[in-house]
Structure 1
Amino acid sequence: MADRIRIAIAQTLVTVDPAANGTAIRAAMRQAADRGARLVHFAEGALTGYAGADKPHYAGWRIDWAPIAEELAATMTLAGELGVWVVAGGNHQLTGDHRPHNSLWVINDSGQLADRYDKRLLSHNEVASFYTPGDHICTFTVDGFTFGCLLCIEVNFPELWMKQADLGVDCVLFSSFSEDPIFEIIARGHAATTGCWVSMAVPAQCAPAASSALIGPHGYLLRRASPDGPDVVCVDLDRTDPDLDVALNKARPWRATARAGDIYATRRVTDARTLDRTHP
């Protein structure tokens, strides 16, 4: 098991133009690769833009998929050339009249699509007007570290985060297109209770409220992107960091033991004062 991996959190400006978004994504990938990152993480909708009636790439609620396919292909090619993994958000086309998924594409360091995460728990507006919900969990491993994917409003569902820990995820890649600073606070709580790192990627235009950041498995911020515009931050996930020893090596395994319950079951006793809960 590797002790360390360097990841990059890319805070790009997300527009309604896939070509502009793709150019920004690939520039960030090059910066990250030059600084030794093995994985580059982007925001929700980073490649395609987010859904909505005001988006020019929609026409009668139909997306022009051609430029999206071109930009995704170019991004995959560059990932292979640079030898980096890329996780980037965007709309994923379905067939017929089915609405797209709100997804994270997982591109491996050979430039291939290794997997895709489709947002499962959508907002009311998303499920009513924009997107088709997904139905699967997405985890993958890079250099001995296991990553999981979650999107935006899914920050509000603790069961999704607990499942990540149950699956042995080391770092949750949490992509959002939100200007609500409470999302960061909730994500920090999930990091602290699950013992997972959390990489939080938001678009540059959302950064003034809560910029992209890496949260440690103790719930504290390890690195934050600039609140003033696009940025690429590179940071190591380090299993040997003494500041993370309690969170990684004591709290997380103990909580797994506690949740299993066996240690408590063997220590319970039959006692009259336990059974009587109405007297002091």
Structure 2
Amino acid sequence: MTQNGNLKRRVRARAAKTGESYTAALRHLREAQPRHADTQSVRLAVAQSSLFNDPRDSSALRTSGMEIRRLMRDAHRTGARLIHFPEGATCSPNKRIMSANGPCDVGPSDWTRFDWAVLSEELDAISRLARELELWTVFGSVHRLTPPHRPHNSLYVVSDRGDLVTRYDERMLSHTKISFMYSPGRQPVTFEVDDLRFGCALGMEAHYPEIFTDYERLDVDCVLFSTTGESPSAAPPFAAEALGHAASNAYWVSYAAHAPQSVTVPSGIAAPDGRWKVQCPADGTPAIAITDIATDRDHPARPWRRTARSDLYEAHKIDGDPRSDARNSF
């Protein structure tokens, strides 16, 4: 199922043997396999796609698949190595359409309303095209579990060979999602393309900085953050947080939302300095934006911030206050 299955087994074995946490064991194994010291780059395309929110509509599911594949071809023509799509790119089920209580009241989702057979056909077609184009493709989709378990809200990672190498399941779900719609995920997910390491985040997880600092500890070069963007008014906070996470963690952040949101903030790729390197058109239409993301392994920002977040300052702190009433005077 995952490209890193053997690595995960080694990490768990080391953690069991040493008593380390999973993250500490993973870092040790990563450091034991040093990466290239020079600057690496990957041409990344970020997409803003149409919003399809009725999983009962088989024609809409097919249309979403065709649009995804059209944007994949557009990215391929630019020389992109990886394309990143929004949350629910295949379909982002509307909570009222799915509610077993009817559209007026939001209740438990009735997942028998989803045309799973058509979705499966579209997923297969996307994978085949990824192999044909030799294009890594990351896109949002609902991941079905065995009933009565609710599905996951997921990001699929399809390699340039057309293989589903890993899947990220949203962990920090909204109130409606956790109450009525989805099962939460359990762990961060990383994968590598041409020696750059990518992490995945989804939905409303931009609101949780611990998701992004955890990926910094996992030594990623870029986080792919996908959200729905159903309401244009919701875009500014998410986009601002994407820029902030890029700057505070000194890595790239790709921000993919649906096209309707682009009239406020389009999809884009934030550089490690916390500024947009490139953005899609702000006109409400499906589109892509492309840039080369490069990581300088010798840049001092990330090593220093890791040092600063450790116990660096403890030895420099003063015990007590040399002035008797310092807290109440200038």
In the superposition, the TM-score normalised over structure 2's length comes to: 0.77
Mapped to 1, the partners of 2:203 and 2:305 lie a distance apart of 26
Mapped to 2, the partners of 1:65 and 1:269 lie a distance apart of 63
Q: Deviations over 1:69-102 (max 9, x none)?
A: 1000110011011111100001000001211110
SS in 1 for 2:299: helix
Report the Cα offset of residue 152 of structure 1: 2.2
Letter in 1 for 2:313: Y
Report the Cα offset of residue 274 of structure 1: 7.9
- 8 Å contact from structure 1 (residues 123, 153) kept in 2: yes
User: What residue is the counterpart of 1:32 in the other structure?
Assistant: 75
- 8 Å contact from structure 1 (residues 18, 49) kept in 2: no
State which of 152, 161, 174 in structure 2 corresponds to 1:123: 174
Letter in 2 for 1:116: R
Letter in 1 for 2:288: V
Q: Deviations over 1:147-184 (max 9, x none)?
A: 00001211111111100101001101000112312110
Mapped to 2, the partners of 1:12 and 1:60 lie a distance apart of 25
User: What residue is the counterpart of 1:254 in the other structure?
Assistant: 304
Mapped to 2, the partners of 1:274 and 1:12 lie a distance apart of 62
2:305 aligned with 1:212:
no
- Rg comparison, structure with higher value: 2
User: What residue is the counterpart of 2:287 in the other structure?
Assistant: 231
Q: Which moved more, 1:203-212 or 1:113-122?
A: 203-212
> In proportion to residue count, which structure has more strand?
1
User: What residue is the counterpart of 1:9 in the other structure?
Assistant: 46
State which of 182, 190, 193 in structure 1 corresponds to 2:245: 190
Report the Cα offset of residue 270 of structure 1: 4.7
Q: Deviations over 1:199-234 (max 9, x none)?
A: 001111221121101001111111110111111111
Letter in 1 for 2:265: A
- 8 Å contact from structure 1 (residues 148, 173) kept in 2: yes
User: What residue is the counterpart of 1:54 in the other structure?
Assistant: 97
Report the Cα offset of residue 52 of structure 1: 2.4
> RMSD in angstroms over aligned alpha carbons?
2.2
In the alignment of these two chains, the number of paired residues is 272
- Assess, with a 3 A threshold, how the Cα gap between structure 1 residues 25 and 269 changes in structure 2: closer, same or farther: same
Q: Which moved more, 1:267-276 or 1:183-192?
A: 267-276
2:66 aligned with 1:66:
no
2:132 aligned with 1:76:
no
- 8 Å contact from structure 1 (residues 50, 90) kept in 2: no
Unaligned runs of 5+ in 2: 1-35, 55-59, 103-108
Unaligned runs of 5+ in 1: none
- 8 Å contact from structure 1 (residues 8, 232) kept in 2: yes
- 8 Å contact from structure 1 (residues 53, 61) kept in 2: no
SS in 1 for 2:313: helix
